[in-house]
Chain A
Amino acid sequence: MKIADKKALKRESIIQTALQLFSTNGFHRTTIPDIAKALKMSVGNLYNYFSSKDMLAKEIIKYTSEVLGNEIREVNGLEVSTEEKVKKIVTLYFRMAKEKPEMIEYFLRVYLSNREVFNDGCEGMICVSGFITEIMIFFDDGVESGALRNQDFFSAFGLFMGYLGGMVFLKGEEVLPNDIEFYVEDISRNIYNALKV
């Protein structure tokens, strides 16, 4: 394996470990030595990859946004109805919340809750554009096909992602009486009914 490939792998493992720790223990309570320890690497070496904890935090939000964006991109490329696409997006979002809860938790509990960390370098949509772009494509295709009502982007976006984020937040608080996947069917229908023509 080339050195560059090895470094890329190491970088990703740092992101994944830090993502886990930030999501579980909170951004402020997690230190660079904690992350280095979990990875069995020296603090000095970790700084070779990321110059600060804030920098690492920003890279993580870009990483999670790309992962989620790539999944939605696959849905966007499918030859299925908009209604079906809504269900697929809800399904993948909830599946991710279940199988990789740290991905969604990071967005809700680190990115949205520590704005001061992200203000410089992650303003507005910069670090989440991988995900936002795919949601925009989904909406655009939906209107173009005649399935969705044409409206302001944010009124539709808030309804869709606010709803999903809220459910995952409730899951994180352990107040949902059922497994989150139990809600896929109803929530998909609710979202589609709210957005359709």
Chain B
Amino acid sequence: MSHAVIASLSGFSLLPSYTVIGLTLGGVYALAATGLVLIYRVSGVLNFAHGAVAMFSTFVAYQISVVAGVPSPIGLLAAVATGAALGFVIEFLTIRPLAGRPPLTKVAVTIAWLLVLQTAAGLIWGSTGYHRPVQLVGSNGFTVPFTNVVVGYDQLTIFLVAVGLSLGTSALLRWTSLGAQMRAVADDPQAARLWGIDVDRVSAASWMIGSAMAAVAGVLITPLLNFDTYSLTVLVIDAFTAALIGRLTNLPLTVVGAILLGLVQYYPKAFFNQAGLSELSTFVLALITLAVVFRPGLAASRGRG
């Protein structure tokens, strides 16, 4: 570490307000990660284009609400529609025909989509420079009673919407018939087919819902970071990290992991003035999670899918 890293004890006074930001960010990660896990569980595909889908959908909202000036809720709806449509197209055109192929082939397809969406967005909206974010709620806020911590209404909204949607998805899986079908497909696609479940339809539904969640996460997160094509595309690694904490299957644990990630990314910034601390935190957390949560033995490592 160089001398440019400035450590200061005064950082502690920043912790309460950084907690607010960290929670907000964590909420958005929870939303993105829930979508990722939903797609993975039902269709068995780890979607590396998840962030790219979020990015592209968010730029559609940007086009509508920031460029054309249409009220932002309509922009958000357009983003959701775009996300769902992208999810459907990816599943229908490029995942379904690859049934029975190794997992890494499907990963390659999602990587191709990442490249396509990333380049397309760069061509349409420009790949350099930051864009004005879509503001759903005004940025004024309130002071938490008995403290001097200010919480923005936008932050509160983002957190509530994100966590609400994530937990809502868990509820959907648990209590609706579509959810029951999704769980059946996740457990054993062959058996689900025998039970008369339309596996293709359920898989498409998971991609549409999961991608729509990515879209919402994208729109919500833009006020919190530098809004450009790249930073949203790499949102996928934050979603991955949260999903890993939930072992790629457990939704409530994923939400907890996401919020943990948000906090872990923000707290170091209270003490060190250094670019890239979020990425460092994500990397370290991902490594720890992989080391602790996943440890297959020799015989189990021959996943050929």
Decide whether A and B are members of one complex.
Answer: no
Interface residues of A (CB under 8 A from B): none
Interface residues of B (CB under 8 A from A): none
